[in-house]
Amino acid sequence: MPDSISLSAVAKKNIQRNPGRSFCLIVVVMLLSLFLFVGTVLISSLSGGAASVANRLGADIMIVPEGFDPHVDSILLSGKPSTFYLPSYAFEELEKIKNDVGIEAMSAQTFLATLNASCCSYPVQLVGIDFDSDFIVKPWLEISLGHELHDGEIIVGYHVAGYPGDTLQFFSKNLNVAGRLEQTGMGFDSMIFMNRATIAVLAKEAERIRERPLKNDGSLTSVIMLKLKPGFSSTASAIEINRLLNNKGIYALFSKKFVNSISASLITISKILSFSLIALWLLAIVIVALIFSLSLSERKKEMGVLRALGASRGILIKLNLTEAFFVSFYGAVLGVTVGSVLITVFSPGAVEALNMPFLLPSKTKLILLAVISDFAAVVTGVIAALWASVKASRVDVHEIMR
Amino acid sequence: MKLILKDIHKEYERGGKNFTVLEKINLEISQGDFINIIGRSGSGKSTLLNIAAGMLRPTSGLVELNGENLFLKNDSALSLIRNKKIGFIPQGMSALPNLNVIENIILPSYIYPSREKNFAEEVAARAKDLLMRLKISELEGAYPSELSGGELRRVIIARALINRPEIIIADEPTSDLDVKTSAGIMEFFTTLNAEGMTILLVSHDLDSLKYGRRVLTMQEGNLIEGNKL
Ligand SMILES: Nc1ncnc2c1ncn2[C@@H]1O[C@H](COP(=O)(O)OP(=O)(O)O)[C@@H](O)[C@H]1O
Ligand SMILES: [Mg+2]
C-alpha cells in the first residue's frame, strides 16, 4: 500500500493527536446521546405502558373496598403488594344490579401480600382468581394450561423466577408452578396467581403467622373485576354502581381512571425529561462550539497553511466538519452503548421505583430510538462546529506571514 | 510560465489609519528565473510574495499567471491554481503538526485527489524521490515536533514540489537556520533552478545574496534592481 492521506484521514489524525480536546468533545456528545437515548426510551416505555393499560387490564370496572383505590393502583400498575378485603355481600349486591348497569361478566380476586418468599427478593402479591370466570389473567398465559388451575398450583408473572415444574414456597406451603404469563408491563409481571381455595389456605396460614385476625367478616374477596356489555360506558356504569351501592363500603373504579392518573404523571415526567433534554442539548451545542472555536483559533496558522497549499474555503470547512463528525460519531455511539447497558441493568428496578406501568419498547423500536439518538447527537456536534469552521475558513493570510 | 505583477499597490489599516506597504511594484517572472528579493524586516517582502501567490488581494494592481488575472477568479478556482501551479513556502515553520513527514509532503496532492488508477503510487513515488533528493528519507514517519529546523524546511520544500508546480515562491526559506544548513538549502534551490524550475524567493540574511540569478531590494514600498542594503 502506498502512502496516502485523504482529507478524512487528516481529520482523524487531528483527532488522534489532540487526545485531550477529542476526549472532551467525545464526552460531551456521549452524554448528549446517552440522555437522548435513555430519555426517549423512558418516555416511550412509560407511554407504552400507559397507553394500553386499560386493554391489558381486561376489565372495564373494578370493585374495590371503599378507600382502597390508591392501593389498587399500586398493585395493578407496579405490583406493590397489599392485602385488603371487600365485604362478603359485595358479590350478591352486584348480582342484583347486574342488568341495570350492564355487567356482562364478573370475576372475583383475592389479594394477599407476602413479606418474603423463596422466589423473590422483594415482597410479592399473591392473587387468588376464580379460574372459571377469569377473563383477566388467562389471556396473558404463555401457554394455555389445558386444564383447571388445581389446588396448590400457581401461575407466575413474567418477572417471577419460577418455571413449570418448579416448586415455590409461600407461608410454609409448597406450590407448583403450572404456567407463566407473558410480559404485561403492569403489576401482573411480579404477581403470583392461584385458585381461590389455595389462597384461602394461605390466608389462614398468614393469619396464624402474623397473629392478626382477618379484619372483617371472613370474606376472601379483595376485588371484583367487571366486564361490561357492549354499549355501556365504564364511566357511566361506575358512577351508577357507586350511586346504587352507596354506603355499602364498596367502590367502583373504572379503568380509565388509572390511565388518567398515569397520563397525568406521565405528562409531568415527559415534561421534565424534555426540558432537561433541551437544556442538555443547548449546553452540548455551546460546549462543542466553544471547544471547536478555541482549538481552531489555536490552529489559525495551520488553516492558513492549508489555504496556501490550495485548500479552498469550502474544503477547509469540510475538513473541520469531518473532524466534528468523527468525534461526534464516536461520542454518539459510545453514548447509546452505555445507555443500552444502563437500560438493561436498571429497567427492572424502574418498574418499582416509578410506581407506573413500564414496558420497554420492542427491539425494533429500541434500535430505531438508538439510531435517532445517534443521528441527533452527530448532527448536533456537526452543527455546533459549523460556526467555528466557517470562521476558521476565513483565516487571514497574515497568519502565515509570521 | 509567466507571472506578472502590474502596478501592485498595497495598503494596510492600522490604528484606524491606512499606511502603504507596497507603493507601486512591477515585476515580470519568466520560465527559468531565479529571483532573490532582499529587504529589511517589515519592508513588505511577505506581503509581496503573498500577493504574487494569489493569497492576498492587493489594494490595486493585478497579478497575472500565464495571462490569467488571478484575483478575478473565485475562491475555488484560485485555490486550485495555487494547488496545482504554485509551490508556496510560507514564512516560518509551516508543517502540519498532526501529520508525519510523508503525510505532510503528499498532502497537497490529496486536496484535489485524482481518480486515476495509479494516482497513489505515483504520488508516493514522487514523495520518495523528493525525500531522497532532500536527504531526509529516514525521517518519513517522524512528526514535525521531532525534527530540527533544517529538516523541517526540507520537508516543506518537498511539500511545495510534490504537485510539480510551475513556480516556487519561498518566503525566507533559510531564516533561523545556521550558515551551513542555509547554504545547503540555497544550493538545493540553485540545483532546482538549473533543472528549469522558476523560483521567486525572499531572504534577509546577506549570506543568501550570492544565490539567484537576479537580486532585487525592497525599499520604501518599491523594488530596486540589485543589492541596495
Ligand atoms: N494584517 C496587517 N495589518 C496591518 N499591518 C500589517 C499587516 N500585515 C503586515 N503588516 C505590516 O506591514 C509591513 C510589512 O510586513 P511584511 O510584508 O510582513 O514585511 P516583511 O516580510 O518584509 O518583514 C510591516 O510593517 C507589518 O507590520
Ligand atoms: Mg516576512
Q: How many helices (H) and strands (E) in chain B?
A: 6, 10
- pLDDT value at residue A55: 60
Compute φ and ψ for A320, nearest 5 degrees: -70, -35
Burial of residue A38, with CB atoms counted within 10 A of its CB: 0-12 exposed, 13-18 middle, 19 or more buried? buried
- Write down the domain spans for chain A: 7-51+262-401, 58-254
What percentage of chain B has pLDDT greater than the value 90?
89
The segment with the largest mean pLDDT, out of A62-66, A266-270, A364-368, B109-113, is B109-113
* Residue A89 neighbours by CB distance under 10 Å: 14
What is the chain B residue with the closest CA to A319?
B111
Residues in CB range of B197: below 8 A, 6 or more apart: B167, B168
Lowest mean pLDDT among A29-38, A44-53, A199-208, A373-382: A44-53
Band (A267; pLDDT cuts 50, 70, 90)? confident
Segment A83-114, tens digit of pLDDT: 888 888 888 888 888 888 888 888 888 888 87
Lowest mean pLDDT among A55-59, A209-213, A266-270, B110-114: A209-213
Q: Which helix (H) or strand (E) holds B11?
A: strand B2-14
Contact pairs from chain A to chain B, CB under 8 Å: 103
Band (A50; pLDDT cuts 50, 70, 90)? low
Rounded Cα–Cα distance for residues A376 and A278 (Å): 12
Band (A48; pLDDT cuts 50, 70, 90)? low
Average pLDDT over residues A347-370: 75
- pLDDT value at residue A213: 46
Average pLDDT over residues A201-220: 65
Number of domains in chain B: 1
More confident of the two residues B170 and A82: B170
Judge whether A402 is closer than 8 Å to chain B, CB to CB: yes
Q: pTM score, two decimals?
A: 0.74
More confident of the two residues A211 and B15: B15
Grid cell, residue A90, equals 359485595
Residue B97: helix, strand or coil by DSSP? coil
- pLDDT value at residue B103: 97
- pLDDT value at residue A193: 92
Judge whether B121 is closer than 8 Å to chain A, CB to CB: yes
Residue A119: helix, strand or coil by DSSP? coil
- pLDDT value at residue A116: 63
Segment A12-31, tens digit of pLDDT: 999 999 999 999 999 999 99
Minimum distance, in Å, between the CA of residue A309 and any CA atom of chain B: 5
Grid cell, residue A193, equals 396467581
Lowest mean pLDDT among A262-271, B1-10, B91-100: A262-271
* Residue A397 neighbours by CB distance under 10 Å: 18
User: Interior CA angle at B105 toward B80 and B201, to 5°?
Assistant: 70
**Cα B203 to middle of ligand 2, angstroms:** 9
The separation between CA A287 and the C-alpha centre of its own chain, rounded to angstroms, equals: 31
Compute φ and ψ for A143, nearest 5 degrees: -130, 135
- pLDDT value at residue A228: 85
- pLDDT value at residue A361: 80
pLDDT at A148 over 90: no
Cβ pair B120:A2 closer than 8 A: yes
More confident of the two residues A78 and A346: A346
User: Interior CA angle at A76 toward A36 and A94, to 5°?
Assistant: 145
Judge whether A394 is closer than 8 Å to chain B, CB to CB: no
- pLDDT value at residue B43: 94
Judge whether A313 is closer than 8 Å to chain B, CB to CB: yes
Lowest mean pLDDT among A59-68, A137-146, A363-372, B73-82: A137-146
Grid cell, residue A21, equals 480536546
More confident of the two residues A133 and A212: A133
Pairing of strands A125-129, A191-195: parallel
pLDDT at B90 over 90: yes
| Closest-lying ligand 1 atom to the alpha carbon of residue B91 | 21
Q: Which three-class secondary structure string do you get for B124-168? A: HHHHHHHHHHCCCHHHCCCCHHHCCHHHHHHHHHHHHHCCCCCEE
Nearest to A313 among B75, B112, B121 (CB): B75
Report in angstroms the alpha-carbon separations of A205 from A116, A193, A214, A365, B182.
14, 17, 11, 46, 101
b/e map of B3-31 (b: 16 or more CB within 10 Å)?
A: bbbbebebbeeeeeeeeebbbebebebee
Lowest mean pLDDT among A232-241, A256-265, A297-306, B150-159: A256-265
Residues in CB range of A353: below 8 A, 6 or more apart: none
Segment A68-78, tens digit of pLDDT: 877 777 777 66
The separation between CA A376 and the C-alpha centre of its own chain, rounded to angstroms, equals: 22
| Mean pLDDT taken over chain B | 95
More confident of the two residues A150 and A400: A150
The separation between CA A17 and the C-alpha centre of its own chain, rounded to angstroms, equals: 42
Closest-CA residue, ligand 1 atom 8, reads: A398
Segment A276-331, tens digit of pLDDT: 889 988 998 999 999 999 998 888 999 999 999 999 999 999 999 999 999 999 99
**Cα A159 to middle of ligand 1, angstroms:** 76
What percentage of chain A has pLDDT greater than the value 90?
31
| Mean pLDDT taken over chain A | 84
- pLDDT value at residue B183: 93
- pLDDT value at residue A398: 81
Judge whether B99 is closer than 8 Å to chain A, CB to CB: yes
**Cα B91 to middle of ligand 2, angstroms:** 6
Tell me which chain A residues have a C-beta less than 8 angstroms from the C-beta of B175: none
The partner residues of A176 in beta bridges, in order of sequence, read: A153, A167
Give the structural domain span for B85. Answer: 2-225
Residues in CB range of A380: below 8 A, 6 or more apart: A29, A32, A281, A284, A285, A288, A328
Residues in CB range of B129: below 8 A, 6 or more apart: none
The closest of B105, B176, B190, B91 to B140, measured between CA atoms, is B105
Grid cell, residue B71, equals 484575483
Looking at residue B80, which CATH number applies to its domain?
A: 3.40.50.300
Tell me which chain B residues have a C-beta less than 8 angstroms from the C-beta of A402: 91-92
Band (A205; pLDDT cuts 50, 70, 90)? confident
Interface test with A, best of B96, B102, B145 (most A CBs within 10 A): B96
